[in-house]
Amino acid sequence: MFRCLVDADSVHHPAPADLPRSINGDCAPFDAARPRSAPTPILGLPPYTDAMARSRGRWYRPDPLPDKGECSPLVGVAPRPWAPLPFDPKAVSRQLLDGEIVACEPIPNGSNYSFAVGISCHRSGAEATIDHIAIYKPQRGEAPLWDFPQGTLYKREMAAYHTSQAIGWPFIPPTVVRSGPYGIGTVQLYIKPDASTHYYRWNSEHIPELMRITVFDYITNNADRKAAHCLLDVQRCVWGIDHGLTFHEDVKLRTAIQEFSSMRLPDWLYEEVRAFTGSARCQELLDELQEYISPREIRAFQRRLQRILQRYAFPALDSYDSTPREWW
């Protein structure tokens, strides 16, 4: 994935003509000088709008939490503390923010443009060492969507990271907002997954972590929790990536983690959510989120927090409409 190296005389960033095309191979190369344009109407029809989508019953979905009395009990799932991180997230975040991007390579086959970047924290003269590999997602590379405001996905990634840190579930790699070769965007530490396994092999071994991520996806309204967005690294730590489609005010939850559908929350998980919701850290988070999402989206986030405490349940998921489309 990352093959762009630094030479002693110059730093190389790929020219726009070198960047990948869409997964269909038919779009124009990325132009770093301007944002992507809105989608072209088909056969003279106007672009699909949020108002049009809400008029269709499939898209206007009710809240997926069942009533407490309708839940199936979960037994035998003991709490397990989150595994200690192999690094200091605050220190790494500072290095991602202040370090120099000395190499940049496009990542093909994504819905939006993203890049593997090398970050150097200690440049000596013309030479630079790559201290961190990270994933850079510029705002200008975001594809237009009918239901999310254009140019906001990178902010939602950052809002999700702040939320995971605030609630004490640090499964999102350190993430910062900064300027890069193609403008402002998020830079997130690259986590090397264990290539010998995948979600459907290791999920039964990490039930407590996945329960927390399921609750997180509900309260942040994650519309894109693919199985490929759940990673297990070589140290057996669970990670979650790609949180650009979060915090919408309408119900958007789509997730591959459906093992706990309609189940009752275990007491220990309920207490973790309750303790956070009643803490000063929750109010601090709400203040932080004002920089990244709208006031209406913040209020919807608060309602989901309260609702999961009232219902004491995991969301009830539909096997079709609640499932994101994987790449395979």
Question: What does the pLDDT look like over 162-212, one tens digit per residue?
Answer: 999 999 999 999 999 999 999 999 999 999 999 999 999 999 999 999 999
Determine, yes or no, domain membership for 18: no
319: helix, coil or strand? coil
CA-based nearest residue to 323, from 266, 263, 259: 259
* Segments in 105-233 forming alpha helices (H): 153-167, 199-202, 207-219
Determine, yes or no, domain membership for 4: no
The first and second tokens of residue 285, run together, are 């988070």
* pLDDT level of residue 66 (50, 70, 90 thresholds): confident
- Kindly report the pTM of this predicted structure: 0.82
**Phi, psi at residue 35, to the nearest 5°?**
-65, 160
Gap between the Cα atoms of 224 and 147, Å rounded:
13
Gap between the Cα atoms of 75 and 70, Å rounded:
16
Residue 81, pLDDT score:
87
Q: What is the mean pLDDT of residues 247-257?
A: 94
* pLDDT level of residue 244 (50, 70, 90 thresholds): very high
How far apart, in Å, do the first and last CA atoms of the chain sit?
A: 19
Q: Which region among 33-47, 92-106, 149-163, 218-232 has the lowest average model confidence (pLDDT)?
A: 33-47
Domain count, the chain: 1
| Mean pLDDT (the chain, rounded) | 83
Model confidence pLDDT, tens digit, residues 36-45: 444 444 444 4
233 pLDDT above the threshold of 60: yes
Residue 92, pLDDT score:
97
**Phi, psi at residue 107, to the nearest 5°?**
-105, 120
Residues in CB range of 80: below 8 A, 6 or more apart: 208, 209
Q: Which domain, by its residues, includes 111?
A: 62-311
pLDDT over 90, % of the chain: 65
Q: What is the mean pLDDT of residues 18-38?
A: 40
* pLDDT level of residue 52 (50, 70, 90 thresholds): low
The first and second tokens of residue 10, run together, are 């110059």
174: which strand partners?
none
User: Which is higher by pLDDT, 172 or 34?
Assistant: 172
Determine, yes or no, domain membership for 76: yes
Q: What is the mean pLDDT of residues 98-104?
A: 94
Residue 51, pLDDT score:
56
Residue 63, pLDDT score:
82
* Segments in 101-168 forming alpha helices (H): 153-167
2 pLDDT above the threshold of 90: no
Q: Which region among 48-52, 72-76, 226-230 has the lowest average model confidence (pLDDT)?
A: 48-52
Determine, yes or no, domain membership for 52: no
**Phi, psi at residue 217, to the nearest 5°?**
-65, -30
Determine, yes or no, domain membership for 67: yes
Determine, yes or no, domain membership for 75: yes
Determine, yes or no, domain membership for 72: yes
Determine, yes or no, domain membership for 320: no
